[in-house]
Structure 1
Amino acid sequence: MVDVSEVYGRAKGLASWLRDLRRDFHRHPELSMKEFRTSDKVAEVLTELGIPFEKGVGGTGIVARIGGEGPAVALRADMDALPMDEVSGREYGSTCPGAMHSCGHDAHTAMLLGAGSLLSSMELPGPVVLVFQPGEEIAEGASAMVETGFMESHDVKAIFGLHVHIPLSVGQIGVNKDRCCASVDNFRAVIKGRKAHGAYPNLGKDAIVMAGQALVQLQSVVAREVDPLDGAVLTVGTIHGGTAPNIISDEVVMEGTLRSHRPQDRELLSRRVVEIVSSVASCGGGEGEVSFNKGCPAVINDRAMSDMIISTGRDMLGESEVAVLERPTMGGEDFSFFSRKVPGGFFRLGAGSEAKGITYPAHTSDFDIDEDCLPVGSAMLTELALRWHSSRT
């Protein structure tokens, strides 16, 4: 089998090709579940590499397979962009108003194609499945792909994924051994009262007062009902109500987000939002209704998979370049839909550079990556696939 230094060396030889691919995707960003050109470009490259694939998996997703029959390890990249405009003046900037690759999914897609190029040129110990996923930003793409049954039909037994990370420099990776990313659920609470003139509040049922009381009670859930050693967030981000300064409001709408790392906390937060909104509204003589937009579960890395990422990173990049992250993020990642079906390993890939001024965080109009990270990502994914198969023999 090809050793780790040779894998890394071959990946570095793809640097200019990877850069061109990434810039092509970056110039043509597409929003979630509408990645039509991106999917066509991925299919074009896979065809050039001689890798068989299926299009239209869960929308615009693509599943490619390298190798023969038997249990497979999957490698995943997301493809969608965000609905925002990019800072002007970049040679490879977005040509699509209202869309920008400000989360690095263009890089992820290029890196997975790079891994495909490397793996397709090797004699593999077992099959590898490449998963090009749509719609990560709206937490719909992974679940849509899973529902097609591709993991069963391709006998996928494990999956790896990565995300570019600006706080880490090129040549570094960060890994959580278990808890990695939070579950994400959004809610919409509607509190209904009765309208009245502000001079005669006794004739109305004030929805704003009810909403204020509910808001205070909601903030006590994390503080008093969640174990303080476990991460959870209950944020109310919008409140809309009232029509005039002298009118008792008959309706208030509050919207918020719920984040947690444990399934029991996820259930608790949702349940308590419903209970508090309905009971507070009832006490005020009104009615409260709550609806949810259920997002993705928490990403919990499999210990054996995270250990494999750590050892691979240390062998390839050096022991000092691998950060074992003690704290998970409260951000969401729908990689969890894959990793709750089979053991998963997700890691952060260094993509920042203070020297080059590449320091802006994801989801900002100034976001960019140091493209020197592209061969690193391709090499890591390739080596992880090889090591996973070797670990089974």
Structure 2
Amino acid sequence: MLTEIKDLTAQLTPRLIEIRRHIHAHPELSGQEYQTAAYVAGVLSSSGLHVEEAVGKTGVVGHWPGKGTDQRVLAIRTDMDALPITERTGLPYASRQPGVMHACGHDIHTTVGLGTAMVLAQLGEKLPGTVRFLFQPAEEIAQGAGWMVQDGAMRAVSHILGLHVFPSIPVRSLGIRYGALTAAADDLEIFIQGESGHGARPHEAKDAIWIAAQVITTLQQAISRTQNPLRPVVLTIGQISGGRAPNVIADQVRLAGTVRSLHPETHENLPTWIETIVQGICHTYGATCEINYRRRVPSVQNDPTLTQLIEQVAVEAWGRDRVQILPEPSLGAEDFSLYLQEAPGSMFRLGVGH
């Protein structure tokens, strides 16, 4: 069957290049993938798959029923959304949508998903089980997978596969990762309420900016002293706002950032750990605070059995020299992890580097 798959893929390559360039030229932002979804649905339907539209808002699901007695359902997930970035590549198929670009490779992901569906559809009765293709919206805002799950896209799924392009791996190569592939990612917002005063009399005020500086510094220092160094935590404050005038002590400051971690136990304990530190600092200096910790996505934890199967098949198809075992996870985030709460699965890296 491997030889047949390679032959079919070679025959479809010109069409797949055309598909990828069309999708790249017509990017759409998260939750707005209407034209992309319609295009995907059309390609799937023309290949003979049963198609459901408007799953997970702007998602698409394609079904290829198995012809044998195997009742298992394998899901293959790809994402479709683009980023709010202006493309300046000058390519003939560059984005035609001002300020929007497929800069994260989701045009490739969508093409791979469609190509896989087109190939498997031509294999027909040689497939013993059912394959369900999930074309997901809104991965960039880490919401699309949740929408798809809520709409039943993972119902009866036994296993799920996904991929993401990786520029640091050469083209025509794969990256396999056992265990944690990506980090859990959460949002953090902290409001500090002090007491305003004249800049010349700081002892009569409670300086919210200075207290915020203590919070930021202490959180960073506390990671190195209180968190297990073998279980990394990254806490980045990306926004800070407060104050009304250069000579007036600020009474309010807002901090906003992201918190990343790899291990489930660490991820579970982080909200309490952060609140204890922030509350302690604010209490010490006479301020009050409000902490909003919002969980977004957990870490992608690849199933070892399925990951081993991917490695074995990839070596058989491409050769050992084109299959890398990734030694380190990424602290980037992926809402593919939400599917893994419904069924075991694995995500691998597709090399696109030159």
Pair in the same fold by TM > 0.5: yes
Residue among 134, 147, 150 paired with 2:137 = 134
Tell me by how many angstroms 1:147 deviates: 1.3
1:113 is paired with a residue of what secondary structure? Answer: helix
How well do the aligned residues superpose, as a CA RMSD in angstroms? 1.3
Q: Aligned equivalents of 1:259 and 1:136: distance in 2?
A: 17
Q: Return the match for 1:26 from 21, 24, 27.
A: 24
> What is the match of residue 185 of structure 1?
186
SS at match of 2:266: helix
Partner amino acid, structure 1, of 2:133: L
Q: Deviations over 1:357-379 (max 9, x none)?
A: xxxxxxxxxxxxxxxxxxxxxxx
Q: Residue 152 of structure 2 corresponds to which residue in structure 1? A: 149
**Aligned positions of 1:366-385 closer than 5 A:** none
Q: Check whether the contact 1:274–1:289 (CA below 8 A) recurs between aligned residues.
A: no
TM-score normalised by L of structure 2: 0.96
CA distances 1:276-302 after superposition (whole Å, capped 9, x unpaired): 222211221111111133211100000
Cα contact 1:258–1:266 (8 A) shared by 2: no
1:12 aligns with 10
Q: CA deviation at 1:263?
A: 1.6
Distance 1:226 1:28 in 2: 45
Structure 2: which amino acid aligns with 1:233?
A: V
CA distance in 2, matches of 1:233, 1:50: 46
Aligned-partner SS, 1:243:
coil
For 1:82 and 1:290, how far apart are their aligned partners in 2?
29
Structure-1 separation of matches of 2:222 and 2:260? 12
| Cα distance between partner residues in 1 of 2:72 and 2:39 | 28
**Would you say the 8 A contact 1:142–1:335 is kept in 2?**
yes
| Aligned twin of 2:57 | 59
With a CA cutoff of 8 Å and minimum separation of 6, indicate the structure with the bigger relative contact order: 1
Which amino acid letter does the alignment assign opposite residue 132 of structure 2? V
Deviations 1:145-172 (A, max 9, x none): 11122322xx210000001111111111
| Deviation of the 1:245 alpha carbon | 2.2
Per-residue deviation, 1:199: 1.3
User: How far apart, CA to CA, are the structure 2 residues paired with 1:204 and 1:345?
Assistant: 54
Q: CA deviation at 1:228?
A: 1.2
Separation in 2, partners of 1:210, 1:5: 65
How far is the alpha carbon of 1:53 from its aligned partner? 1.3
Q: 1:322 matched to which residue of 2?
A: 323
Q: Name the SS for the 2:351 alignment partner.
A: strand
8 Å Cα contact 2:194/2:288 also seen in 1? yes
Q: Distance in 2 between matches of 1:58 and 1:172?
A: 32
Could you list the per-position Cα deviations for residues 228-277 of structure 1 after superposition, in whole angstroms to 9, with x for gaps in the alignment?
A: 11222111122222222211111111111111111221122222222222
Equivalent residue, structure 2, for 1:374: none
**Counterpart-to-counterpart distance in 1, 2:308 and 2:183:** 20
| Contact kept in structure 2, 1:39 and 1:60, CA below 8 Å | yes
Deviation at 1:215, TM superposition (A): 1.1
Runs of 4+ in 1 over 4 A off after TM superposition: none
Taking the aligned partners of 2:333 and 2:115, their CA distance within structure 1 comes to: 26
Superposed displacement of residue 209, structure 1:
1.5
Aligned counterparts of 1:243 and 1:268: Cα–Cα separation in 2: 36
The code of the aligned residue for 2:216 comes to: L
How far apart are the structure 2 equivalents of 1:173 and 1:181? 16
Q: Aligned equivalents of 2:7 and 2:178: distance in 1?
A: 28
Residues 191 and 277 in structure 1, CA contact (< 8 A), matched pair in contact too: no
How high is the sequence identity, in percent, across the aligned residues?
A: 40
* Cα distance in structure 2, aligned partners of 1:112 and 1:221: 44
In the alignment, the residues of structure 2 paired with residue 160 and residue 93 of structure 1 have an alpha-carbon distance, to the nearest angstrom, of: 29
Distance in 1 (CA, whole Å) between partners of 2:306 and 2:273 is: 35
1:330–1:45: structure 2 CA closer, same or farther, 3 Å change rule?
A: same
SS at match of 2:181: strand
C-alpha distance in structure 1 between counterparts of 2:89 and 2:308, whole Å: 42
> Residue 8 of structure 1 aligns to which amino acid in structure 2?
K
Deviation at 1:225, TM superposition (A): 2.2
Q: Distance in 1 between matches of 2:233 and 2:315?
A: 32
Residue pair 1:221, 1:269 contacting (<8 A) in 2 also: no
Partner deviation per Cα, 1:185-241 (whole Å, 9 max, x = no partner): 011111111110011212211101211111121113321222211222111122222
Please give the alpha-carbon distance, in whole angstroms, between the structure 1 residues aligned to 2:14 and 2:226. Answer: 53
SS at match of 1:14: helix
Paired residue type of 2:141? I
The 3 A distance-change label for structure 1 pair 85 and 118 is same
Structure 1 SS opposite 2:120? helix
Write the letter of the residue equivalent to 1:235: T
2:30–2:137 CA contact under 8 A, matched in 1: yes
SS in 2 for 1:90: coil
Unaligned runs of 5+ in 1: 354-393
Q: Would you say 1:350 and 2:348 are equivalent positions? A: no
Task: Provide Cα deviations, 1:55-86, integer angstroms capped at 9, x if missing partner.
Answer: 11111111111014822101010000001111
Q: Equivalents in 1 of 2:159, 2:280: separation in Å?
A: 45
Shift of 1:14: 1.3
Contact 2:188 2:291 in 1 (8 A): yes
Aligned mates of 1:45, 1:330 — CA distance in 2: 34
Residue 5 (structure 1) shift: 3.0
Cα deviation for residue 338 of structure 1 reads 0.6
Q: Report the count of equivalent residues.
A: 349
Question: What's the CA shift for 1:346?
Answer: 0.4
